[in-house]
Structure 1
Amino acid sequence: MASRTTAPVTAHPAGTRAGATRGSGFRVVAAVLVLLMLSSSVPSALYVLYQQRWDLSSGLVTVVFAVYAVTVLAGLLLFGSLSDTLGRRPVLGASLVLAIVSMALFAGAQGPALLLTARVVQGLAVGLATGAMGAALLELAPPSRPALGAQVNSAGPTVGIGLGGLGAGLLVQYAPAPTALSYLLLVGAFALALVGVARMPESAPGAGGRPKVVPHRIRVPAPVRRRFAVLVLTVVAVWSVGGFYLSLGPHLALSLLDSTNYLVGGATVALLAGAATTAQLLLGRTPALRTALLGLGGLIAGLGLVLVSLGIGSAWVFLAATAVLGAGWGAAFLGAFRALSALAEPAHRGELTAAVYVFAYLAMSVPAVLAGVLTNVHGLHRTSVGFMAAVAAVCVVALLVTLRLARRTPAEGSPA
């Protein structure tokens, strides 16, 4: 028998291993965030095809869209704090299982009933995951880059929405099984993400306790209600635009371009989201109120250009308007959300954030449904003109009152 020699031991300090595990966990959660947002925008690229194949009205299309927004809000308010006691991993795992079920339902849908069911399940999956993802990204962010968690939380949704719109548009136009392939690919992606979540470290300080489903309180502290009302007006304007574009935007783009290429619809969503992401990354260190004001200016300019494009029937002006609108959208939401988050004490920040989400998802869903119903009566072109003009008016009011707030309270203009 050969003599046993002692091989040199390679040093792997526990801190290094922990750091590597933490880093891999951060990447997994970031991927889950992008995948969930990507999957949420895939139906937007298919709505026109659904309308053609199943003879759906624009009103029903916007109802399908709004059902998602309402169920996301319900899931967030009911289960947003569940991961604080149960842990981030179990909640993210359950969310991914629901996401897989929703993708399977989408792939098998042959009419609006299953489409609505799939959207409900998808909304619950996203609502369940939102609180856990946001917290895990902050907890697992690299110590050398502590702000990275907040940056991914901010930019991840628009990155996912853009990729989903563009990817689905490509597959619908150029690949087989246009109403199923995108969803089947996402089933595989979510399954891989589920493996990653199972292997990631648990980051919740109180994980392992008894599960508690405690609905988020919706409360705005009395001393900040006036400022909240001013800032939330920007959130309403931003998500009214987002809801319209994600539900009827692809149809409008195809109409203006006089095209039957479904990639155009997906590219419109991608252009809006891509411009929003770029603006958020560029303005990440700009003071909150200044960012909101810049964003509102971009929204007003973009909405004005959309109205011009509809007036002259120019597709190229519409695409330029979408890029400007997207930049304003991203900046306005980033600035308003940061300013709103700074209004409450840390102990009550969750309650105030829940109130912001209520306004955001209602603004995303209710105006979109109203626009869909009006489209059935007045047509897409006239409804779009009226909708954009109304949102532009809201943006002007929001700009004026936010500017007044910034002048009265200069300290609010500092980074939040």
Structure 2
Amino acid sequence: MSLATSPATAATETRETQRWAYPALLALMALAIGISASPAPLYGLYADEWHFAPITTTVVFSAYAVAALVSVLVVGSISDRFGRRRVLLTAVATLIAGLVVFMTAGGVAALLVARVLHGFAVGAIVVAGSAALLDLRPAEGAATGKRTGVAFNIGITIAVVGTAVDAQYGPSPLVAPYAALAVLTALGLVAVILMRETHRDGRAVALHIARPRVPASIAADFSFSALGVMASWSVLGVFLSLVPGIASRAAGTDNLVFGGGVVAVMAAFAGVSQLLAVRVPAKRAAITGDFGTAAALLITVAAVDAGGRWEIVAAAAILGFFFGLAFGSSLRHLGQVVPAAHRGEVMSAFYVLAYLAMAVPTVLAGWAATTWSADSVFTPFMVAVALACLLAGGLGLRVPRLTPDAVPAH
């Protein structure tokens, strides 16, 4: 490329000569999200081996959410300043380092370190990867958002099932799953090394922390979207930390594939609902998801109480479908009403609340499970979240339509 080549021309050349970069980035992001969920079937093994209480499990899980939140707030400006590729190279290397810590872990401290490394890495990969996807296909923003959401759920499904199968039937349940994921991540690292930089606008962007702020004009829409996502993500936190063990005990099995399969089924059906939801106006789909999630949570409580394996799996599928509808459509609705000049601030506020909703209720559930038991706090927790989902849906019915559902705000 000559010195006279403009940034716009360079970006066009990158898109035309590296068509494989777009699907490769989607696969890398799916892998990263999958790795973040992969310990879910193994927490019971860690607890048995190192004799720690449920609150320890939830604190270890929440360490990821806190680190990811910090990463999301700072990585955007870093990737704008230094490029997507450098951020991705550092993040993927950090992801591998976290897997190595998992493989060599000898206690809870190592699990915390691994989860923090993965929180920083996954947050960076999601932010920089999403920006790079838009760099590569700037005219496909809505389609890219849909593909990313589906890829995330596919990543969780495959990683959790693969980890559970490898741990259950492999030679070393606390090492082999992470080794397999490390090999796949190394392939992702090679892809990033071969990838050209996608961000070449020539500006020196000032480094900053994304400031959470919500304009008064969309306060009602933001409250509706944020409450729905907070309720759904609190379910996700408990599902990834405590539910595999709760479901397995209820079904009377110690097979790791069953506990991991419950999480995987939930994630898979969340992906299905996000694919289908694009045909429905965002606000209507989000309200349906909120009310449906509330009902699905009660169905899940009944299935766990009954102890039937197929009933538990079916309940996880129903919950996943409405969870995906609530999360994906709430995000889509917010994206349609947020003013363009405030997108960074609003999305920062949105994800701050989402990650706090994943971390704080999960830790509280772990504390309650230590005081009583995980099985005894399961029902009260799910009922409380169901009430929050009903509140979110009710709020959505009261929110005036500031912009047409199908037309982005300007």
Corresponding position of 1:105: 101
8 Å CA contact 1:344–1:352 kept in 2: the answer is yes
Output the CA distance in 2 between the equivalents of 1:151 and 1:139: 16
Output the CA distance in 1 between the equivalents of 2:185 and 2:308: 40
Change beyond 3 A, Cα 1:254–1:415? farther
Deviations 1:33-67 (A, max 9, x none): 01101111111111011111111211000000000
Runs of 4+ in 1 over 4 A off after TM superposition: 14-20, 209-212
Output the CA distance in 2 between the equivalents of 1:210 and 1:185: 39
Corresponding position of 1:379: 373
8 Å CA contact 1:84–1:205 kept in 2: the answer is no
Corresponding position of 2:87: 91
8 Å CA contact 1:80–1:127 kept in 2: the answer is no
In the TM superposition, residue 339 of structure 1 has moved relative to its aligned partner by 1.2
What letter matches 1:94 in structure 2? Answer: T
1:159 to 154, 171, 179: 154
In the TM superposition, residue 411 of structure 1 has moved relative to its aligned partner by 4.1
Question: CA RMSD for the aligned pairs?
Answer: 2.0
Corresponding position of 1:191: 186
**Which stretch of the first structure deviates more once superposed, 181-190 or 390-399?**
181-190
**Which stretch of the first structure deviates more once superposed, 114-123 or 288-297?**
288-297
What letter matches 1:350 in structure 2? Answer: G
8 Å CA contact 2:34–2:158 kept in 1: the answer is yes
Corresponding position of 1:317: 311
What letter matches 1:153 in structure 2? Answer: T
In the TM superposition, residue 138 of structure 1 has moved relative to its aligned partner by 2.0
Specify the SS of the correspondent of 1:203: coil
**Counterpart check, 1:239 vs 2:233:** yes
Q: TM-score, with normalisation over the residues of structure 1?
A: 0.91
Corresponding position of 1:5: none
Output the CA distance in 2 between the equivalents of 1:79 and 1:147: 22
* Percentage identity across paired residues of the two chains: 36
In the TM superposition, residue 183 of structure 1 has moved relative to its aligned partner by 1.1
Output the CA distance in 1 between the equivalents of 2:144 and 2:218: 27
Corresponding position of 1:414: 406
Deviations 1:73-117 (A, max 9, x none): 011112222111211111111100100110100000011111111
8 Å CA contact 2:15–2:137 kept in 1: the answer is no
Corresponding position of 2:293: 299
What letter matches 1:392 in structure 2? Answer: A
Deviations 1:3-46 (A, max 9, x none): xxxxxxxxxxx999855533211022111101101111111111
In the TM superposition, residue 397 of structure 1 has moved relative to its aligned partner by 1.1
8 Å CA contact 1:299–1:392 kept in 2: the answer is yes
8 Å CA contact 2:282–2:329 kept in 1: the answer is yes
What letter matches 2:401 in structure 1? Answer: T
Corresponding position of 2:321: 327
**Counterpart check, 1:127 vs 2:123:** yes
Output the CA distance in 1 between the equivalents of 2:66 and 2:376: 27
8 Å CA contact 1:301–1:324 kept in 2: the answer is no
Corresponding position of 1:115: 111
Pairs within 5 Å for 1:6-405: 21-141=17-137, 147-206=142-201, 212-405=206-399
**Which stretch of the first structure deviates more once superposed, 296-305 or 243-252?**
296-305
8 Å CA contact 2:243–2:259 kept in 1: the answer is yes
What letter matches 1:141 in structure 2? Answer: R
8 Å CA contact 1:23–1:142 kept in 2: the answer is no
8 Å CA contact 2:149–2:274 kept in 1: the answer is yes
Change beyond 3 A, Cα 1:226–1:146? closer
Output the CA distance in 2 between the equivalents of 1:190 and 1:204: 23
Change beyond 3 A, Cα 1:15–1:111? closer
8 Å CA contact 2:11–2:199 kept in 1: the answer is no
What letter matches 1:149 in structure 2? Answer: T
What letter matches 1:109 in structure 2? Answer: A
**Which stretch of the first structure deviates more once superposed, 15-24 or 79-88?**
15-24
8 Å CA contact 2:72–2:127 kept in 1: the answer is yes
Output the CA distance in 2 between the equivalents of 1:415 and 1:279: 21
**Which stretch of the first structure deviates more once superposed, 283-292 or 133-142?**
133-142
Gaps in structure 2 of 5+ consecutive residues: 1-9
Output the CA distance in 1 between the equivalents of 2:204 and 2:155: 33
8 Å CA contact 1:299–1:325 kept in 2: the answer is yes
In the TM superposition, residue 313 of structure 1 has moved relative to its aligned partner by 3.4
Output the CA distance in 2 between the equivalents of 1:146 and 1:213: 25
Specify the SS of the correspondent of 1:138: helix
**Which stretch of the first structure deviates more once superposed, 176-185 or 353-362?**
176-185
What letter matches 1:82 in structure 2? Answer: I
Change beyond 3 A, Cα 1:265–1:212? farther
What letter matches 2:146 in structure 1? Answer: Q
Output the CA distance in 1 between the equivalents of 2:350 and 2:121: 20
